[in-house]
Structure 1
Amino acid sequence: MLRKITKFSIFASIFLFLISAGFSCKIQTPAIKEAMKPVSLEFWGVFDNSSDYSGVLSAYKILHPNISVKYKKFRYEEYKQKLLEAFAEGEGPDIFSIHNTWIGEYRDKIEPMPASVKMPFQETKGSIKKEVITTIKTVPSLTLLQLKNDFVETVYEDCVLDEKGKKEIVCLPFSMDALALFYNRDIMNAAAIPEVPKTWSEFQEAVKKITKYDSSGEIAQSAAALGEANIERGLDILSLLMMQNGAKMEDNGRVLFNMPVGQENLPAQAGFVPGLEAFKFYKAFSDPSKEVYTWNKNMPNSMDAFIQGRIAFFFGYSYHMPIIKARSPKLNFAIAPAPQISLEAPQAVNIGNYWAQVVSDKSKNKGIAWNFIQFAAANPKVADLYLKIAKKPTALRGLINEQLNNMEIAPFASEVLTAKSWYGGKDAGAMEEIFSDMVSSVGMGAEDKEYQMALNEAAKKIGQTY
């Protein structure tokens, strides 16, 4: 009898202690037990470091303590091969990053965003007697309207695909980038150019003032890297010029940058071809017979030349900034928005470049993976945790004004609303090579028909990648 009383007293003491400590135990249903099982999501990417996601992952862990997200960084050169090998074995990541020009290539490996996801949540209730209650909630996903209203324009255009008459969201970016103009302050000061060019006409005049030639006619001081294939992101610069000039790059799988404006459904013929005029404008900077001659194919990589202080202007993205600072800490440079054809145009045109997150169709936790992507991408407070560490421009409209006050990010953030991209085929690498070959194929003093032939050939080959 004494033993029974003693055992009862012990249990009673433990029960009273738990109450006094403010805890309460609840019997969980089988469904809640299943939902609260540990889940580990694998997230693959390039360029970003694990530390860039530290704030986001901590915030998600607080909300969903049973879910762990493990980020793995790969070298860009190996990334596609690693994905290919993993998918071939029926494995791979739950979430992986793809460049915005790779969406078509990976479409058949992507799981579209579901309409909703059932997620477990733990909440502490009560004032004196605190209870940790676990509930399962149906969390609605982003709607198409929310995506269009909350994110910059190009996200909707790129990440919403029409599948058999049904529009589906297949990816979301954590950031957005746009091509901007880096400039060397010392070179501009020496040339007595007080303000950075805002239009391409002003850019041409600056190039003429800065460029110097030696006694043999060789370039002694270059102003900018344009007109050849040995240029960092030359494809984007030429695409930007084409789009600003009114070229329709592609439409529903048809490549159209070689066509006359308003006549995209007709064969190429005489008339205003905006892509052609932009191509000629671009090539003039590498033509010794032109006033703006400032670059040639024998010169070094454009970014290397800028880092070494050999050119005044470099077209790049926000990700180039830390590279330039690390390699040339004393370089006196600044960044401005990319030039426009006219400041009086109804809307500026810029070019976007970004990575978006997708869910693998082989993931065993597709819904949870999409829940994490939406948590990190669509919630401004959470998204800002990543952006401030990674130092990247935002893809969310609601964070743009804040970033306009950041001196380093402002030039890029000011462009994201009007940033566009165009390639929707299945081989972005081949597309870039075709563009590069097109640029190299047209020599000095070429006539319009030669430019048109090069454009037609490139458009035809790129069309075959869709």
Structure 2
Amino acid sequence: MRHMKHLCYDNISMADNEQKDPQGPLKSKQTDPLDPLESAYESDVFHGDPIMDDEYIEPELPPPPPASIFQRILKAIPFLIGIIILLLLGYLAYNYFLERNGKGGPADLNYWTLWEDDSVYQPLIEEYQQQHLGVTVTLQKQSVIQYRERLQTHIARGEGPDIFRFHNTWTPMLQDELSAMPNSVMTRAEFKEAYYPVIVEDLSVGETTVGLPLMFDGLVVFYNKDILQAAGFSAPSGDWNEFLLQAENMTVKQGNKIVTAGAALGRADNIEHFSDILGLLMLQNGANPARPNTDAGAGGLVFYRIFAQTPDNVWSLEFDNDILAFAGGKVAMIFAPSWEAFTIAAINPDLNFSTSPVPQVAGSESQVAWASYWAEGVNAKSPNQQQAWEFLKFMAQKESLEKFYKLTAETRVLFGEPYPRRDLVETLGQNDYLAPLAQQGEFAQSFYMASRTYDNGINDGIIQYYKNAVNSLDSGNSPQEALETAAQGITQVLERFNVVIE
């Protein structure tokens, strides 16, 4: 602050002012003593240039001490909180994008189907697309005739679908075309927990999962309730020896001609699923269908043949087809996958029939059933593999399968698509026609003898050799001779598709 002395103007006085003012002395201005500015103005302070007395220099203050580490941390906390909030918002936005658009981003998925109409899939597809904006699924229903070759040809040309249906026995033939399911979709542990052991084995390459099923099927026994009740039976026996006796009891003949057959087994030409039945008997008898030229293999073939062996035969070549014969009420029991129920009901809606589990070998330590089903795979050359697997995960989850069952049941009679998941086995067992599948799932097995796949490959090749073996018995060949020839051909087929049998 600077100090100033009051200064006066020379040769100026109040008297001079009074002489110059003709009107008389000036009235003094009333000042407000409480207003320092006004008082100062009236003083001599503002009436001249001040002359500085002594200049006061304010001393420099020492610099503040440096901030402690704690103080620095406190100052940085708001900045760090802001960074965390930004990262959290980015993470939430990213996850929201993934949920709405599917992991991997937008994609147009082409899906090849086989059996069901598009209307069955569409509600589930629409639900998925609403949850995953940017992902679209287009269906293309294919004919099963030459389907396997057509699929591989399109994939080889880079024109294949993103998602496709394939049979559980086709895994060796499609190893190069099948994408591995990422662990982010389902881990191996989750896969093994959710599905039957046969599904895990069929849809794996090493320890890699290559397919997800939306259904499950296999052999069951179809039986005519009226014929069994008339013979005093409530259901087919679960023991093979007793089953044979039931079949003999229900067979009606006129001379050597069978009028009503007890069961359709023993032949290869007029039994729609003979290879599945023979494969089942081989496995139940402890034989390896890949190398049937053993005593166990011969035992399985002999037992199968008994049902058509005269003079006590219960089935013959006089019948055109076992499915047609059963629908016409001419045979008491047949073996077929559950889906043949639709064929039978379409031919004869009034037929009183049901299903039961396949018989087992008496005294066997373990039970064996037969599995034959279709699964969904992802094209290994597709640019949208992640999105395709995410969609299949949605389709294969419990809630979606329950909806899928209801949708398929609306287009059929009797039942919808049988569930493949273990956690739906009780629900599956509530349907009389599907209850056997629920009972057999845990101990079902499979082999490359599945009928009606039309693959022109591993199944059709092996089935032909077994058909020749069955028919060669009519020419006098022994079961061992028949299976020795079959084994050589089966080995060639397996080698062609790089299948190694332990």
Q: TM-score, normalised by structure 1?
A: 0.77
Instruction: Give the aligned residue type for 1:186.
Output: D
Q: Distance in 1 between matches of 2:253 and 2:447?
A: 38
Asked if the contact 2:261–2:331 (Cα under 8 Å) also holds between the matched residues in 1, the reply is: yes
Moved over 4 A (4+): 31-38
CA distance in structure 1 between the aligned counterparts of 2:466 and 2:328, rounded to whole angstroms: 27
Aligned residue type for 1:257: P
Structure 2, gaps ≥5 residues long: 1-92, 409-415, 450-454, 498-502
Kindly indicate whether structure 1 or structure 2 has the higher relative contact order, using CA contacts under 8 Å at least 6 residues apart. Answer: 1
Identity, % of aligned positions: 29
Mapped to 2, the partners of 1:257 and 1:394 lie a distance apart of: 32
Aligned position for 1:434: 465
The aligned residue for residue 283 of structure 1 is 305
- After superposition, the Cα gap between the structure-2 partners of 1:318 and 1:54, relative to the gap in structure 1 and judged at 3 Å, is farther
CA distance in 2, matches of 1:67, 1:407: 39
Deviation at 1:91, TM superposition (A): 0.6
Q: What SS does the corresponding residue of 1:75 show, helix, strand or coil?
A: coil
Aligned counterparts, 1:206-285, within 5 A = 206-215=246-255, 217-230=256-269, 231-249=271-289, 255-259=290-294, 273-285=295-307
2:351 match? 331
1:143 aligns with one of 161, 166, 187: 187
Instruction: Output aligned runs, 1:34-433, within 5 Å.
Output: 38-115=106-183, 140-162=184-206, 167-215=207-255, 217-230=256-269, 231-249=271-289, 255-259=290-294, 273-289=295-311, 291=312, 293-342=313-362, 345-377=364-396, 379-390=397-408, 391-423=416-448, 427-433=458-464
Q: Contact between 1:56 and 1:376, CA under 8 Å: does it hold in 2?
A: yes
Q: Cα offset for 1:88?
A: 4.3
**Amino acid corresponding to residue 319 of structure 2 in structure 1:** M
Counterpart of 1:145 in structure 2: which amino acid?
A
Partners of 1:392 and 1:409 within 8 A in 2: no
Q: Which secondary structure does the structure 2 equivalent of 1:287 belong to?
A: coil
Match of 1:71, SS state, is strand
Provide closer, same or farther for how the CA distance between residues 458 and 185 of structure 1 changes in structure 2, counting only shifts above 3 A: farther
Pair 227,67 (structure 1): closer, same or farther in 2 beyond 3 Å:
same
Structure 1: unaligned runs, 5 residues or longer: 1-27, 116-139, 250-254, 260-272
Q: Check whether the contact 1:198–1:338 (CA below 8 A) recurs between aligned residues.
A: yes
Q: Tell me the equivalent position of 1:127.
A: none
Tell me if structure 2 keeps the 8 A contact 1:175–1:395: yes
Query: CA 1:220 to 1:435, structure 2 compared with 1: closer, same or farther past 3 Å?
Result: same
Give the superposition deviation at 1:452.
4.3
Deviation at 1:459, TM superposition (A): 3.8
SS in 1 for 2:401: helix
Paired with 1:353 and 1:195, the residues of 2 have a C-alpha distance of 24
Which secondary structure state, in structure 2, belongs to the residue aligned with residue 243 of structure 1?
helix
- Distance in 2 between residues matched to 1:427 and 1:245, nearest whole Å: 23
Comparing 62-71 with 140-149, greater Cα deviation is found at 62-71
Match of 1:266 in 2: none
Aligned-residue offset at 1:312: 0.8
Work out the CA distance in 2 between the residues paired with 1:449 and 1:431: 17
On the 8 A contact 1:404/1:413 being kept in 2, the answer is yes
Q: Is the 8 A contact 1:287 1:445 kept in 2?
A: no
Other-structure match for 1:136:
none
Q: Distance in 1 between matches of 2:494 and 2:156?
A: 27
For 2:274 and 2:205, the matched residues in 1 are separated by: 28
> SS at 1:311's partner residue?
coil
